Structure 1
């Protein structure tokens, strides 16, 4: 899960659809075919904006900062729900924002991006998607003492003993490949777990053990 707010820089998807793209020579994730041939970069995944899931406005202005050098993998430590719908993805985005604003007292959702258990990619903190498009970042509150140089992805669920859903993991591959391409990052260096920076269980023992696989698949997706 996320770490305390630091506002100052401190230097869905069915299994059938997953395989439908194979006949076309690629992997279909969220309506996007990811080419599997050599030297083909992953496309930007479909991301649902804050306007689409009806996010609350931030309490104060979101700070746009420079490009990140690491991608931090989180889990939300919430229930491993079996509702993989887009409506459920909207619901978890609201839950995260309410928790971070009303309980933690932060200006907004702490993380830049969220992936639901159904594999839907959601915009988190305000201006995250526009900043990524401009090869910038927004100052989040997802990794204590490292918010100024990282971008965080919350993955819905808790992965201490449970495995990561296929749809969620596949979308994480696409998302990380998109971010690494955008920022010119080496996935084998840039992709880290929350516990690599802070004393935390996040992103769970099972998910953390799969980070080498995530890095390898991202590198392959980037061509």
Structure 2
């Protein structure tokens, strides 16, 4: 989802690293049991249980982000959809935290220097090593408050969606196990905080814009993602299904991002 200026953009089998203290559990098990395990509507926003689901997040200060040219706009409302992207960059074999930090700096540099944006476009980034990092400034504080930072990740829909950039290109390749587990954990956390139904809220970039993002392979795995997130939240999993209806309304490693239809 790192795309070209003036367009919406993307980003687009080790285990979860031990330093990510997220425990996969049924967070709302008692509520789901009371309803017979069925998800009958949105989850209650900001439930006490959701606070237990916070994965290890690396802040902008930790990955040494540049100052934005302008502070991000924060809306006093929750997002209604979680948009899955791929970075359309190389499928790196370096799964280290250092590489993940370099990735975040490279994305920010690309977005600011090439795209001319005020900061990184997406709110969250997950490396192939499973490291979850804050993207756009003020994003983590906004999520923790139940609010939304307006990003630059889904053209025409940045005022109601939150974007997750997943490192790599997933047209034919599979994501690493570490990235996948971190993506499930991140989506479960976001659904718990914002009271979202994972079966309705989790979409791909291509559901909104004309783009190949998040790649054919990762896009095809979105039904499984919704199902695993629902399971982590203690909700009944649905049978395999297609995507939901299209929503309406620095020195160091070199990173190359795609400007074309892959984003």
Consecutive unaligned residues of structure 2, counting only runs of 5 or more, are: 8-12, 31-48, 235-263
- The structure number with the bigger radius of gyration is 2
Aligned to 1:31: 21
Q: 1:138 to 1:5 in 2, by over 3 A?
A: farther
Who is 2:113 aligned against?
102
Structure 1 residue aligned with 2:102, among 91, 107, 131? 91
Query: How far has the Cα of 1:36 moved from its partner?
Result: 5.5
| Aligned residue runs from structure 1 range 174-185, under 5 A | 174-185=185-196
**Cα separation, 1, equivalents of 2:110 and 2:69:** 14
Q: Distance in 2 between the 1:92 and 1:30 partners?
A: 18
Equivalent residue for 2:209, pick from 194, 198, 204: 198
C-alpha RMSD over aligned residues: 2.0
1:33 Cα deviation from its structure 2 partner: 2.4
TM-score normalised by L of structure 1? 0.87
Query: Which residue of 1 is the match for residue 81 of structure 2?
Result: 70
Unaligned runs of 5+ residues in structure 1 are 7-12, 19-27
How far the C-alpha of 1:62 sits from its partner, in A, is 1.1
Whole-angstrom CA distance in 2 between matches of 1:2 and 1:84: 20
SS in 2 for 1:71: strand
Question: For residues 14 and 80 of structure 1, what CA distance do their matches in structure 2 show?
Answer: 14
- Matched residue SS, 1:32: coil
Going by fraction, where is strand more abundant, 1 or 2?
1
Shift of 1:71: 0.2
Q: Deviation per CA, 1:26-71, whole angstroms, max 9, x where unpaired? A: xx78233222698175611000000000100110121001210000
Inter-partner Cα distance in structure 1 for 2:195 and 2:28: 18
Separation in 1, partners of 2:27, 2:139: 30
CA distance in 2, matches of 1:58, 1:207: 30
Q: Which runs of 4+ in 1 moved over 6 A?
A: none
1:152 aligns with 2:154: no
Residue 59 of structure 1 corresponds to 69
- Which position in structure 2 is the counterpart of 1:21? none
Structure whose residues are more often helix by fraction:
1
1:9-41 Cα shifts (integer Å, max 9, x gaps): xxxx943x67xxxxxxxxx78233222698175
